[in-house]
Amino acid sequence: MRLGATVPDFTAQTTHGPIRFYNWLGNSWCILFSHPADFTPVCTTELARMAERAFEFTKRGVRMIGHSCDSVAKHLVWLQDIRSFARNLPAEFPYPIIADETRELAVALDMLDESERTAEGDPVSVRAVLIIAPDRRLRLSMYYPNTTGRNVDEILRVIDSLMLTERLRVVTPVDWTMGDDLMVDTTSGPSQCGTVPRAAVPENRVETVQMPSGLAYVRKTKFYYDSSPSTCEFWDS
């Protein structure tokens, strides 16, 4: 699936009961993170860490949903193992996990490896991270092979960038984290998929960096971060 594509609606069985994706999503941002199968070691650590840090997604207004190519019954047994890897979890596991025994959803969302095959000869379903905006469009995807676990700090970092750049005509440079300087978006295109126009940075808040080329395309602005990307003030007064 390409960035900006509409993520299709689907129905699924999950560890929190059946869902219709669009109804479940409502008007929220969402992170969908997929797993090839239950009882796999790296996935166990990832699901545990995502659960431990669920409050950081909730704080940002992001709904979380896991996915694995096994049944709800298997997921529920696996959850006991996952819990044993996590600390201080509430009685109800903080997010549902989709059961995709037939791999139908993995195929529909294109979460597949081009070369690795299962014993049955089907493409292996991979560890995907899909970040979906309230308008149901795919805003960011990351694909990891089975060998390599994901990084929750990086996922939160890109969510902060996506949410901020949705509201303000800025872009975030390499290794940016919340609170660092921003760069003014000098492209003339519309925001990627937001319906609300992005606010322009006032010129008196912009510092143009002198470049050897003489071109004025690196324009920085300082950023004041209050509590969360959805409530923050943009500049210190």
- For position 173 contacting ligand BEZ by CB under 6 A, the verdict is no
Of 38-46, 49-57, 101-109, 185-193: span binding ligand BEZ (CB under 6 A): 38-46
- For position 146 contacting ligand BEZ by CB under 6 A, the verdict is yes
Residues in the chain: 237
**Residues 82, 23: Cα–Cα separation, whole Å:** 27
Q: Closest CB to ligand BEZ among 43 and 51?
A: 43
Of 22-30, 34-42, 51-59, 135-143: span binding ligand BEZ (CB under 6 A): 34-42
**Residues 92, 224: Cα–Cα separation, whole Å:** 36
Shortest distance, position 32 Cβ to ligand BEZ, whole Å: 17
Q: Closest CB to ligand BEZ among 120 and 226?
A: 120
- For position 138 contacting ligand BEZ by CB under 6 A, the verdict is no
**Residues 222, 235: Cα–Cα separation, whole Å:** 7
**Residues 21, 52: Cα–Cα separation, whole Å:** 24
- For position 151 contacting ligand BEZ by CB under 6 A, the verdict is no
Question: Cβ(140)–Cβ(31) under 8 Å?
Answer: no
Which residues are identified as catalytic?
43, 135
The helix (H) or strand (E) run that includes residue 56 is helix 54-59
Of 9-17, 32-40, 107-115, 171-179: span binding ligand BEZ (CB under 6 A): 32-40
- For position 145 contacting ligand BEZ by CB under 6 A, the verdict is no
Q: Closest CB to ligand BEZ among 42 and 152?
A: 42
- For position 42 contacting ligand BEZ by CB under 6 A, the verdict is yes
**Residues 161, 178: Cα–Cα separation, whole Å:** 8
- For position 191 contacting ligand BEZ by CB under 6 A, the verdict is no
Contacts of 34 (CB under 8 A, 6+ apart): 66, 67, 68, 106, 109, 111, 125, 126, 127, 128, 130
The helix (H) or strand (E) run that includes residue 219 is strand 219-221
- Name beta bridge partners: 215: none
Residue of the chain from 13, 30, 36, 159 that contacts ligand BEZ (CB under 6 A): 36
Q: Which residues would be at the binding site for ligand BEZ (CB under 6 A)?
A: 36-37, 40-43, 146
